[in-house]
Amino acid sequence: MKIAIVGAGTAGVTLLKEMVKYDEFNDVSVDIYDNKVNMGQGVPFQNDSDQLLINLPARQMSINLDKPEEFFEWYEEQKEFKYMNPEYLPRFIFGHYMKSYLNKYNDEYNNVSLISEEVQEIFIESNIGDTALKYNICTSDDIDSCRTYDCVFLTIGTLSYHDPYNLKGTKGYIQSPYPTYNTLDEVDDTDSIAVIGTGLASLDVIRYVTEHHPNLPITVTSRKGALPRVRGNMPDLEFKYLTPENFNELKRQHFGTVPLEEAMKLFDLECEYYNIQVNKMLDVNMENHIEQLEFDLNHPDELGSFQSLLEGIKENMNWIWNSFSRTDQIEFLNRYQRILKANSNPMPPRTAELIIHGIKNNLVKIKPNLKNVTYDSNKFNFQYDDGKDTHEQYDVGKDTHEQYDVVINATGSKTHLADLDADDQLVINLENRQLIQAHPLGGIQIVPETNQVISPRFGTLNDVYALGQLTNGINQSRNGVMMIVKQAVGVVSQLFKS
């Protein structure tokens, strides 16, 4: 059997790591595709500034479910990278840990090939009237150069960044903040800088720009203007009420789905059992960023218990999410997704201390109520519903405007196929050739239990699997490293069993 893995980041490397455990691996050949820069590291863990920290403690990072501290042990043994305080390590080091696995297997196994080229096309070869399918992968527009496979894994990683104000291609507009050490290459020391987005990516920009750009403060803004929470001391919690058994019983009572209201009752029971005061954790004034960050830093145990509970929900989101009706899934996204995202993707305490220092010393301004951004006369014009402490501002009616020379986009990656452009051409081609179809809540349609791709033309593709962010509509909030690793373990087990 010939297998192709398209994308060599966390999912791609983990798939290979799991495959080599099986005796059947000797009977297959595996080709792994990615560009030279991302081969083995992926985009999130590419080489970048060491100021960009993993938002998990190093001892909790691993692509080995049997050894949760494997990454930290690898770090301790290697000699190339050493830091005084290794509790939170730079992201690129995790990339080198993954790449060491890939290089090891490439050296050990003759049936593994690394193809350092971007995949441009994937198409199905099937004769009219024949149900047998072959999958062709092409790295150029020469169809004769395409390779044929029996099984394909789509592990392409994150999609390209949003462009919410249609500024891509505008002089002074930086569409993606990564790698950050190239962000300021085209920026003059006198340029004023604004950042769109206040999530984790914006924190990376703040860390780098405040250290390397003399014209401060930088303004960081979004519609809500809310920062992620700070990671607390997270204990191990085991669900007592949010269990598959209770969900199955509710599904029997409610025509095969679990009402969101009933699920929230189970959540409340979990909070009561672990003495988690949800209202206290959520009543923090998120508009006063110093107040929020200092509260989080001063309540690491209480906040950590709350975050552990939400992390447990994320880890089990495959069966939780797919037990809800479509109506309740939308309701969940509207009411709870923001809370889940802010608390289950928290920033390291060191980053929070840096942000507090930046705000207090006028190095950083964080603003809500962003309404629109336009470009005119070599300036970016930021329009707000209201505003205070503005930079070069002028009022027009109820709106407040600001002007900047450079804009860095930190809004995060796209989630819906309808928003894709040429930066995601492979996915656009896959949809156009009817190999994939959009999920209404994001990403593509897959079978939740198996990660098999559902094609609008061929039905369930038994030998095509998708993992990671491309499946975000089904695998809601399950894009963390450990979640992807768990998906890979299950998929490989199923592959060799079948």
- What is the per-residue pLDDT across 378-430, written as a single tens digit (0 to 9) for each? 999 999 986 444 444 444 444 567 899 999 999 999 999 999 999 999 999 99
Arithmetic mean of pLDDT, 263-292 = 95
Query: pLDDT value at position 460?
Result: 96
Strands (E), 109-150: 112-115, 121-125, 134-138, 147-149
Residue 392, pLDDT score: 46
Closest CA to 106 of 179, 202, 183, 34: 34
pLDDT at 32: 98
pLDDT at 406 (0 to 100): 97
Q: 176, 120, 153, 156: which is closest to 425 by C-alpha? A: 120
- pLDDT for the residue numbered 480: 83
The full DSSP string for 360-406 is: HTTSEEEE--EEEEEEETTEEEEEESS-SS-SS-EEETTEEEEEESE
- Residue ranges of domains in the chain: 2-160+414-497, 173-228+349-409, 244-344
Pairing mode, if any, of strands 193-196 and 218-221? parallel
**pTM of the full structure:** 0.90
Q: Which residues contact 370 (CB under 8 A, 6 or more apart)?
A: 196, 221, 222, 223, 225, 382, 383, 384
Confidence of residue 176 (pLDDT cuts 50, 70, 90): very high
Average pLDDT over every residue of 93-97 = 97
Q: How confident is the model at residue 99 (pLDDT cuts 50, 70, 90)?
A: very high
Write down the pLDDT at residue 395.
Answer: 45
Residue 121, judged by CB atoms within 10 A of its CB (0-12, 13-18, 19+), counts as middle
User: What is the rounded average pLDDT of the residues 80-91?
Assistant: 94
d(CA 195, CA 243): 41
Just give the CATH number of 173-228+349-409: 3.50.50.60
Distance CA 315, CA 309 (A): 10
State mean pLDDT over 345-356.
94
Q: What is the pLDDT at residue 399? A: 52
234, 304 contact by CB (below 8 A): yes
Mean pLDDT computed over 145-163 = 95
Residue 183 and residue 451: Cα distance in Å, rounded? 36
Percentage of the chain exceeding pLDDT 90: 85
pLDDT band at 253 (very low <50, low <70, confident <90, very high): very high
What 3-state DSSP class applies to 246?
Answer: helix
* Residues 478-498: tens digit of each pLDDT: 778 988 999 999 999 999 987
| 218 close to 193: Cβ distance less than 8 angstroms | yes
Mean pLDDT of 118-128: 91
Return d(Cα 184, Cα 294) in angstroms, integer: 30
- Give kind and range of the element (H or E) at residue 218: strand 218-221
From the CB of residue 7, how many other CB atoms can be counted at a distance below 10 Å?
A: 28
**Rounded average pLDDT over 101-115:** 97
pLDDT digits (tens, 9 = 90+) for 323-342: 999 999 999 999 999 898 88
Q: Distance between CA atoms of 17 and 408, rounded to whole angstroms?
A: 36
Q: Between vectors from CA 387 to CA 381 and to CA 388, what angle results, nearest 5°?
A: 115
For 2-160+414-497, which CATH class? alpha beta
What pLDDT score does 104 carry?
A: 97
Smallest CA-to-CA distance from 358 within 209, 247, 470 is with 209
Q: Which residue has the higher pLDDT, 397 or 184?
A: 184
Encoded tokens for 35 = 């560009």
Between CA 364 and CA 413 the distance in angstroms is: 24
Q: Which two tokens stand for residue 154?
A: 């789509």
C-alpha angle 379/385/390, rounded to 5°? 55
Q: Which amino acid is at 462?
A: N
- Predicted local confidence at residue 244, as pLDDT: 97
HEC string of 43-78 equals: CCCCCCCCCCECCCCHHHCCCCCCCCCHHHHHHHHC
Q: What is the pLDDT of residues 359-382, one digit of tens each?
A: 999 999 999 999 999 999 999 999
13 with 102: CB under 8 angstroms? yes
